[in-house]
Amino acid sequence: MYILGIIFALSVSIILHQLLKKNYKSHLIMEIPTYKIPILKNVLITLWINLKSFIINAGKIILLINILIWVLGSFGPSENSSNKNSICIIQKKELTHSYLGILGKKIEPVIHPLGYDWKIGIGLLSSLVAREVFVSTMASVYSIEEKENILKEKMKKETYPETKKPIYNLATGISLLFFYAFSMQCMSTLSIIRKETKSWKWPILQFIFMTLLAYIASLLTYQILKK
């Protein structure tokens, strides 16, 4: 997945370099450090700092999203239409009738050609913040619906209602890999681009382009492999 991403990143960079003309000269100055045998203590300290930073920063996001997923998946709109205020009443629901299920069903027609159901769609939406959130989101979605403890076993049982064929197969898995290889699933990256370019133009264009690229790549991958 990473090799594929690097190849396409270099290819797109070459194309954009030819298409986007700049009216200024760019000079790259890079200072080459003196390479020495690393000291184990320094390596461990650097590793600990980066690990701690990831756990604190990414951990907070994952926790907040899981709480949000649980709330939206555990409650839904009231079915009592006679009361004008019934739309404001929430109650414990089955997953398909929860706010989370309603949202997933809305986007399912768009992602169904990729081999995804509405539950995977929820994972894709939540991972727009950070792609690491996808696994924890899927675990939260399935833990709401069933009481089993093993996520893998739950996913094996998932089938399409129309064909009764399993949703999670080789074609779907490779399709997901292609989607995450090309999509922009990191809002912090977009904010940095906004800061560097001092404009929302390039972050928006990058998000749209990479999302479309990911969608097309996943679509072609799934349609070819499912045969």
> What token pair was written down for 9?
């990143």
Compute the Cα dihedral for 200, 201, 203, 205 and give only its sign: positive
Segment holding 75, helix H or strand E: strand 75-77
Long-range contacts from 134-138, C-beta under 8 angstroms, 24+ separation: 134/180, 136/62, 136/65, 136/66, 137/65, 137/66, 137/69
State residue 216 phi and psi, 5-degree precision.
-65, -45
Please report, in tens digits, the pLDDT of each residue of the chain (227 residues total): 778 888 888 888 888 778 877 666 767 777 887 888 888 999 999 999 988 887 777 777 777 877 887 777 777 776 654 554 444 444 445 677 778 888 888 989 999 999 898 888 888 888 887 787 888 888 878 776 555 557 777 777 888 877 778 888 889 989 999 998 888 877 777 878 888 888 888 888 888 988 999 999 999 999 898 87
Strands 75-77 and 90-92: what pairing? antiparallel
The reported pLDDT for the residue numbered 90 is: 47
Q: To which residue do tokens 């994952």 refer?
A: 62
The reported pLDDT for the residue numbered 148 is: 53
